[in-house]
């Protein structure tokens, strides 16, 4: 029988999990919500019973839990799910502290269940091709990386839920909530930074956390990187990722190649991807505009990991790496961290 799955949380990101469950042939058994007044509407929306979190964990047909709740709830819910014998696929950030991430990893290991973290851009073929090119040395010695995120999240977005824009439940602003995906790609491609500097500010939004941040990172082999992000850039623009080395460079706009040029293309191990027309802002202007393909690919491997009794590629250890670097950047910016 196909894997029985429940989703905790019924907001925007839960819809991507529903699609991933359906496309990969798993069974959505139930969804969970904290407010009984919302049960009827959530049940109608997802086509399955809406239950309390405790009832979801006790449901005999639920073998795995997708955690799509506010970030500040991820650690406690993951640990409870692990103790109930359920595999866990948790949205980013996996937790709000390194200690909580450690506790999540430990709970899943002790209860012999799989733990996956949704950092879905790693599961996209485009970014996997970049990873392969870097590993093959096609760009030579990497010297510079740059991430630019001119996103828009209006005050209405932050006001749409009491947890948004708070330290206790959101854990941070543009870096923790939106930027962690692109920061995770940098770590996947370049390794963990050995030093960071940063500035952060709340310039436009009435929130506790930062809406604008600039950071610099230095990596073990000498490469330098800049990371700039904001949620105040109306009407919202696609993010940009750029990588340059002694043998070439790659420029990505949104989810598409803008340029992939090598000094010696005839010796490339990975065939460069040709540029395509630039896309609309996508996630830069609307959190609902992300592609479902990343979640679908992550969930496909998560199912395989549960069947093969192995860790998924984007497991708790990988999720913790990105979280730790976010917190290091916050600390460098004077916002705290661990």
Give the tokens for residue 182.
């692109």
Question: pLDDT tens, 59-88?
Answer: 999 999 999 999 999 999 999 999 999 999
| Cis peptide preceding 44, ω within 30 of 0 | no
Integer Cα distance of 118 and 136 in angstroms? 26
Q: How confident is the model at residue 1 (pLDDT cuts 50, 70, 90)?
A: confident
| pLDDT (mean) for 6-16 | 96
Q: How confident is the model at residue 205 (pLDDT cuts 50, 70, 90)?
A: very high
Positive or negative: CA dihedral 119, 96, 216, 229 = positive
Percent of the chain with pLDDT over 90: 92
Long-range contact pairs involving 154-159 (C-beta distance under 8 Å, separation at least 24):
155/205, 155/206, 157/287, 158/205, 158/206, 158/207
Q: Is the pLDDT of residue 48 over 60?
A: yes
* pLDDT recorded at residue 122: 97
Integer Cα distance of 70 and 314 in angstroms? 20
> Minimal CA–CA distance to 236: which of 279, 299, 182, 181?
279
Q: What is the pTM assigned to this prediction?
A: 0.94
Question: pLDDT tens, 256-273?
Answer: 999 999 999 999 999 999
> Minimal CA–CA distance to 318: which of 146, 112, 149, 180?
180
Lowest mean pLDDT among 1-5, 103-107, 118-122: 1-5
- What CATH class does 4-120+294-314 carry? alpha beta
Residue intervals in the chain for CATH 3.30.360.10: 122-287+321-332
* pLDDT recorded at residue 282: 67
Residue intervals in the chain for CATH 3.40.50.720: 4-120+294-314
* pLDDT recorded at residue 276: 74
Q: How confident is the model at residue 120 (pLDDT cuts 50, 70, 90)?
A: very high
> Minimal CA–CA distance to 7: which of 67, 83, 75, 93?
67
As a CATH number, domain 122-287+321-332 is 3.30.360.10
Integer Cα distance of 314 and 277 in angstroms? 30
* pLDDT recorded at residue 313: 95
> Minimal CA–CA distance to 243: which of 269, 224, 217, 215?
224
Percent of the chain with pLDDT over 70: 95
* pLDDT recorded at residue 137: 97
* pLDDT recorded at residue 289: 63
Radius of gyration of the chain (CA): 20
Q: Is the pLDDT of residue 283 over 80?
A: no
- Coil, helix or strand for 277? coil
């Amino acid at each position: 029988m196909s894997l029985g799955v429940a989703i905790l949380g019924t907001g925007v990101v839960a819809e991507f999990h529903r699609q991933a469950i359906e496309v990969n042939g798993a069974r959505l058994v139930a969804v969970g919500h904290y407010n009984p007044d919302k049960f009827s509407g959530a049940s109608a929306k997802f086509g399955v019973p809406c239950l309390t979190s405790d009832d979801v964990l006790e449901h005999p047909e639920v073998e795995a839990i997708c955690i799509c709740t506010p970030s500040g709830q991820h650690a406690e819910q993951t640990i409870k799910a692990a103790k109930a014998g359920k595999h866990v696929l948790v949205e980013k950030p996996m937790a709000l502290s390194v200690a909580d991430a450690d506790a999540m990893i430990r709970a899943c290991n002790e209860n012999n269940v799989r733990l996956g973290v949704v950092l879905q851009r790693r599961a996209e073929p485009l970014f996997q091709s970049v990873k392969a090119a870097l590993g093959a040395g096609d760009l030579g010695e990497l010297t510079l990386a740059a991430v630019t995120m001119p996103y828009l999240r209006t005050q209405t977005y932050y006001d749409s839920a009491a947890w948004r824009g708070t330290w206790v439940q959101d854990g941070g602003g543009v870096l923790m909530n939106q930027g962690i995906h692109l920061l995770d790609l940098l770590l996947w491609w370049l390794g963990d930074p050995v030093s960071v500097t940063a500035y952060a500010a709340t310039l436009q939004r009435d929130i506790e956390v930062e809406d604008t941040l600039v950071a610099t990172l230095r990596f073990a082999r000498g490469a330098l990187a800049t990371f700039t992000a904001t949620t105040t850039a109306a009407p919202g623009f696609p993010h940009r990722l750029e990588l340059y080395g002694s043998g070439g460079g790659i420029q990505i706009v949104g989810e598409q190649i803008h340029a992939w040029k090598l000094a010696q293309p005839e010796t490339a191990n990975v065939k460069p991807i040709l540029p395509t027309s630039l896309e609309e802002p996508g996630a830069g202007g609307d959190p609902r505009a992300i592609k479902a393909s990343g979640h679908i690919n992550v969930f496909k491997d998560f199912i395989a990991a549960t069947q093969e009794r192995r860790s998924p590629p984007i497991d708790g250890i990988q999720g913790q790496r990105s979280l730790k670097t976010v917190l290091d950047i916050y600390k460098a910016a004077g916002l705290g961290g661990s």
